[in-house]
Amino acid sequence: MDKERIVRLNEILREVSARNRPIDDLDEIPGWFAGTAEVVAECVNEVRTLFDEAYESGLINKGTYESGHGPCTHWDWTTTAHRRAIKKGLLLTNPMGEEEDGAMFEQPPNIITTPIESMLPTTLTALAEEPFQHCEAVFERQVRYVISHEGKPVAALVPLVDLEMVKDIQIQVDPCKWLEWIQNLRERLGWPAVTFNDKEE
């Protein structure tokens, strides 16, 4: 996907978002535009083609989620998209809408430190008492917090960059290999293996 196509998609998203239309759900694209049926259909075809190109180029991730109104397809930019945008001086539109004081989305962090240098222990209690301090450290210094509960590490508070890297890797890895990888990691952490048996034992 060349620069002109990326810029065009970003312009459309910015224009739609400026009209206070939610742009995070790809199933709602027909509602982004106004006009005659022919005009709307033309706009919808263009933006869907651009999204397909962006997806095939690894610039966006898509995921289907259940909502109160049924399944919906949400999307977000990948780290690849942010890297290309930064090099081209392009500010990507936030899928969740622009926030006046939400500068976190204006400059995606691109500094990735090693886990040994950036992992710190914390607890649910400490996180609840100082949520803003934790979030500032994650955003500004790319600190990763390992959260313990009842003496055991159970979760982590990490930069969005880490999450985007995981999603990028998941796209590139064979699904069977991905499941095997997850099982191995759960064993390393001492967690029970994932099962798909809905019946309680």
The two three-digit tokens of residue 102, written as one number: 């939400």
| Number of residues assigned to the chain | 201
pLDDT digits (tens, 9 = 90+) for 21-30: 889 889 999 9
pLDDT digits (tens, 9 = 90+) for 67-89: 666 777 888 887 778 878 888 88
Quick check: pTM over 0.85?
Answer: no
Looking at the domain 3-102, which fold is it?
Arc Repressor Mutant, subunit A (1.10.10)
pLDDT of 192? 74
pLDDT of 76? 82
Sheet with 152-157: strands ordered across: 119-123, 144-149, 152-157
Instruction: pLDDT band for 45, please (50, 70, 90 cuts).
Output: very high
Closest CA to 13 of 57, 60, 80, 69: 60
pLDDT of 109? 43
Domain boundaries, the chain: 3-102, 115-189
Residue 198 has pLDDT above 60, yes or no: no
Tally Cβ neighbours within 10 Å of residue 13: 20
At a CB cut-off of 8 Å and minimum separation 6, what does 183 contact? 193, 194
Closest CA to 51 of 24, 88, 70, 18: 24
Picking from 13-17, 39-43, 106-110, 135-139, which range would have the lowest pLDDT averaged per residue? 106-110
